């Protein structure tokens, strides 16, 4: 009897090995996530965490198992402070031995940009990039080009919609922090060198305020007196609220153009009303949260049905985490198909990111097809954005089409 039992077990094992199922070893990889639980952006990062977990759980179940991989996320509180993140990084390396990481934003780029190539940890970001990060041979990868690229696409689109206003009179409301100033330098260079010589646009006012201003009515008055048609920025949600109050004080509503997580959505969520932002615009190089028939939303419905997401988490905040997560798991997938699920290294994932494009379809419609090279930490080919606005008091698409980013944007 024992002999028969042993033979039976042996046959089961042989069959399983021959079929490639049942006894395949699954290797677990820890993926550190630089987060902010106690700093200036804690609210934003709190929104990201469920999305990170949902996408990675979906991938583990539907792709990772077949590749012999399980990805385990571990979030670290970097407080959005470069010194804090830099001091934590050696411990993160020791604890996770990571082959890939998820970054939070500018603070950890500043802390880790010079270290990542040596440590061989490709790091994925869900936000747009900055001019000071536009350098070759980077080990951090952005799902979107720079904020300035996105703004420039928005400006060009706006000019096409309002030919009667040429040259477009551009004002700005900004704060004097490095990321905001960098974005301003990018679009300012483009307007001065490309659009103004063509008679398409000119800068008529540049106003500054605090990151969290109480009142900007005097700055708004300057912008009004300059007869601006469009205001670039504001650069934070608090600035947006102050800008709208300033417009209301002066009985005007000059449309603004900003990033989605700085403008319409956070304002509407706080005020329970989008109406004051009628005609204002947001632009980003990822899918819009407005249409409910898009490939991106259908993917979100899967995450909602099986992985704990809720309908109100389909928003511009979480879109950044969705972009970041889907690129990260696809990067692991590309590498695993080349070297095997049990042989992943940071170098293998880095090489895979550069080896072939990530298609719109495998990115679940969340992003356009991405083409990474060593020239920049973001895709530099076929760049596109979506533009959203407020129509009749509702958050809406400004256009249903992806809008191309001009190819003549130069580094500033």
**16-31 pLDDT, tens per residue?**
444 444 445 899 999 9
pLDDT category of residue 5 using cuts at 50, 70 and 90: low
Say if 5 falls within a structural domain: no
Question: 305 and 250 share a domain?
Answer: no
pLDDT at residue number 264: 97
Cβ atoms of residues 369 and 241 within 8 Å: no
* Domain-embedded: residue 16: no
| 313 and 262 assigned to the same domain | no
Residue 351, token pair as written in the block:
């090489």
Spacing of C-alpha 296 from chain mean position: 14
Report the chain's C-alpha Rg in angstroms: 23
- pLDDT of 1 over the 90 cut: no
Based on the fold, state whether residues 296 and 355 are members of the same structural domain: yes
Indicate whether 346 and 277 sit together in one domain: no
- CA-nearest of 73, 75, 72, 74 to 38 is 75
Longest dimension (CA), the chain: 97
Report pLDDT for 328: 98
Q: How confident is the model at residue 42 (pLDDT cuts 50, 70, 90)?
A: confident
The mean predicted confidence, pLDDT, of the chain is 93
CB 232 within 8 A of CB 202: no
Average pLDDT over residues 371-384: 96
Give pLDDT tens digits for 133-181: 999 999 999 999 999 999 999 999 999 999 888 899 999 999 998 889 9
pLDDT over 80 at 125, yes or no? yes
Task: Specify whether 222 is located in the same domain as 122.
Answer: no
pTM of the model: 0.92
What CATH code is carried by the domain that includes residue 264? Answer: 3.40.50.2300
Identify the residue with better confidence: 196 or 110: 196
Range of the domain at 196: 148-284+385-404
Predicted pLDDT of residue 163: 86
| Higher pLDDT pick, 76 / 18 | 76
Residue among 137, 239, 154, 221 at smallest CA distance from 191: 154
**What residue spans of 307-383 are helical by DSSP H?**
316-339, 346-355
Across the range 233-252, mean pLDDT stands at: 96
Same domain, 73 and 175: no
pLDDT computed for residue 39 by the predictor: 79
pLDDT of residue 67: 98
The domain tally of the chain equals 2
């Amino acid at each position: 009897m024992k002999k028969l039992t042993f033979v039976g077990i042996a046959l089961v094992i042989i069959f399983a090995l021959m079929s490639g199922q049942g006894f395949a070893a699954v290797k677990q990889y820890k993926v550190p996530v630089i987060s902010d639980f106690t700093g200036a952006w804690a609210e934003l990062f709190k929104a990201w965490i469920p999305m990170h977990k949902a996408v990675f759980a979906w991938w583990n179940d539907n792709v990772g198992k077949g590749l012999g991989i399980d990805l385990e996320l571990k979030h670290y509180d970097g407080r959005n402070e470069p010194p804090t993140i830099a001091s934590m990084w050696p411990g993160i390396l020791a604890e996770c031995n990571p082959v890939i990481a998820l970054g939070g934003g500018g603070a950890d780029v500043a802390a880790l940009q010079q270290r990542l190539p040596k440590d061989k940890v490709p790091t994925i970001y869900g936000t747009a990039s900055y001019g000071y990060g536009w350098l070759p041979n980077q080990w951090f990868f952005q799902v979107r080009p720079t904020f300035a690229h996105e703004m420039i696409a928005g400006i060009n689109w706006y000019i096409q919609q309002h030919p009667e206003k040429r040259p477009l009179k551009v004002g700005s409301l900004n704060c004097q922090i490095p990321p905001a100033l960098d974005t301003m330098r990018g679009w300012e260079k483009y307007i001065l060198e490309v659009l103004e010589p063509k008679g398409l646009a000119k800068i008529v006012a540049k106003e500054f305020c605090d990151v969290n201003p109480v009142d900007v009515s005097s700055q708004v008055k300057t912008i009004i007196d300059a007869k601006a048609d469009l205001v670039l920025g504001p650069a934070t949600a608090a600035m947006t609220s102050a800008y709208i109050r300033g417009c209301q004080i002066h009985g005007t509503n000059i449309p603004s153009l900003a990033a989605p997580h700085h403008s319409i959505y956070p304002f509407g969520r706080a005020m329970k009303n989008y109406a004051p932002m009628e005609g204002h615009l947001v632009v980003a190089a990822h899918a819009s949260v407005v249409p409910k028939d898009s490939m991106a939303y259908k993917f979100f419905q899967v995450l909602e049905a099986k992985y704990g997401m809720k309908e109100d988490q389909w928003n511009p905040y979480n879109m950044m985490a969705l972009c970041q997560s889907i690129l990260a798991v696809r990067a692991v997938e590309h590498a695993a198909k080349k070297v095997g699920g049990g042989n992943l290294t940071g170098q293998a994932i880095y090489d895979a990111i550069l080896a072939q494009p990530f298609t719109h379809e495998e990115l679940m419609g969340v992003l356009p097809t991405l083409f990474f090279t060593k020239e920049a930490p973001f895709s530099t080919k076929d760049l596109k954005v979506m533009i959203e606005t407020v129509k009749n008091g509702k958050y809406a698409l400004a256009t249903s089409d992806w809008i191309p980013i001009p190819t003549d944007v130069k580094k500033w």
